[in-house]
Amino acid sequence: MKRDSEKMRQAGGVSAALLALAMTMIAWPALAGDARTEALEQSLKQLEASMQAIRNELNQFKSESARDTQKLMKIEERSVSVEKRQAAEAQKVAKLEEAAATVERQPESKMHMLFFRGGFAHSDHLRNGVSIQSSGLGGPGGQAGRDAWYIGAGFDFNLTNDAWGALPKTSVMSEVMFEYKEFGSKVRGNALTAPGAGVNVSQFTLTASPKIKFLEGSGFRPWIIPAGLGIHVISPPSESITVLIPGVMFGAGADYRIWKDFFVGVDARYHLTSGRTDGVKIDGVTAGGYLGIGF
């Protein structure tokens, strides 16, 4: 509105200057020489001032038009930038939806495991005992061999899948396991046993240990037991009727998912005790396989 009124004012000034010039030309014959020149100069000055005002207005209009054009370009650039951001956000949402659908299609990973073991055992030493080979009251008897078979079971309770943030894809589990080993079922007894009766030489072991399992999320998962507590119950007892022997267990193995939450695996463990207990030394190794069920 202000610009329109200014243009009307400038146009009125030009019209007035032209009218004054026209009137000067009409009155030209009646004017004296000096008066003619003065009137003509005044009309020309008025016309020149009006034209200069129009040029100034035109320059101002051009400047404002350029500023408006720049503003429009900036608005267009912002609009394009917003469209690009919206497209990028749409792509991110699509990728997240695709990843979520992939996770939903994958079978649920069970964190814990119940397993059943079996295999071969070997003792570092021959077994003595109160009712077999003995230096005590029972006297000499037979000795079982150092090889045995074993069966057992246990479960893994998962504590963390990334070692508490220290190692990605590395689970730390708490394992509780028991096993039964038999070194001989008809070992010749000494004077403390019934005549002709065979002695069963066996061992029961209960362990609790941390288990570090690698490759979380993979079908194949190796693992190690750096050290665990083992409590062994021997039969027959030692010469002083000791049946409990504590020790340390070390182990390593791996398992593989065969179908859904069913696993097969192999393991090897070594049991170490401190010294002999009344002539009985039970250090040795077990090696075999196991079947696991996730839950």
The mean pLDDT value of the chain amounts to 83
- Split at pLDDT 50, 70, 90, the class of 225 is very high
Q: Give the pLDDT band of residue 255 (cuts 50, 70, 90).
A: very high
Q: What is the pLDDT of residue 46?
A: 75
211: nearest Cα among 226, 231, 201: 226
CATH code for the structural domain at 113-294 = 2.40.160.20
Which range scores top for mean pLDDT: 178-192, 239-253, 270-284? 239-253
Whether residue 158 is predicted with pLDDT greater than 70 in this model: the reply is yes
Element (H, E) at 39: helix 33-105
State pLDDT tens for residues 15-35.
665 555 556 556 555 555 566
pLDDT reading at 109 higher than 70: no
- Inter-residue contact 131 to 189 (CB < 8 Å): yes
Most confident by average pLDDT, 25-34, 97-106, 151-160: 151-160
Residue 229, pLDDT above cutoff 80: yes
Looking at per-residue pLDDT, the higher value among 37 and 232 belongs to: 232
pLDDT at 106 over 50: no
| The pLDDT of residue 104 is above 50 | no
Task: Say if residue 256's pLDDT is above 80.
Answer: yes
pLDDT at 105: 43
Domain ranges of the chain: 2-102, 113-294
What's 275's DSSP letter? S
Q: Residue 238 to residues 32, 203, 235: CA-CA distances in angstroms?
A: 155, 12, 8
- Work out the end-to-end distance of the chain between its first and last CA atoms, rounded to an integer number of angstroms: 80
Q: CB-based contacts of 107: which residues, under 8 Å, 6+ apart?
A: 260, 261
Q: Pick the residue with more confidence: 12 or 88? A: 88
pLDDT in tens, 31-84: 555 666 776 677 677 777 777 777 777 777 777 777 878 888 888 888 777 788
Residue 291 pairs in a beta bridge with 116, 264
Contact 209, 251 (CB under 8 A): yes
**Residue of higher predicted confidence among 66 and 113:** 113
Q: Report the candidate in 245, 247, 264, 246 with the shortest Cα–Cα distance to residue 255.
A: 264
Query: What per-residue confidence (pLDDT) applies to 107?
Result: 45
- At residue 149, the pLDDT reads 97
pLDDT over 70 at 284, yes or no:
yes
Share of the chain above pLDDT 90, in %: 45
The pTM of this model reads 0.63
Question: How much is the average pLDDT of 246-252?
Answer: 97
List CB contacts of 109: < 8 A, sequence separation 6 or more. 217, 294
pLDDT greater than 60 at residue 92: yes
Higher pLDDT, 104 or 92: 92
Q: For residue 144, which amino acid is it?
A: A
Across 171-193, average pLDDT: 89
> What value does the CA radius of gyration of the chain take, rounded to a whole number of Å?
51
Which two three-digit tokens encode residue 63?
């400047």
Q: Give dist(CA 131, CA 194) in Å, integer.
A: 10
More confident residue, 66 or 219: 219
What is the DSSP code string of 44-106? HHHHHHHHHHHHHHHHHHHHHHHHHHHHHHHHHHHHHHHHHHHHHHHHHHHHHHHHHHHHHHS
C-alpha 190/C-alpha 241 separation (Å) is 15
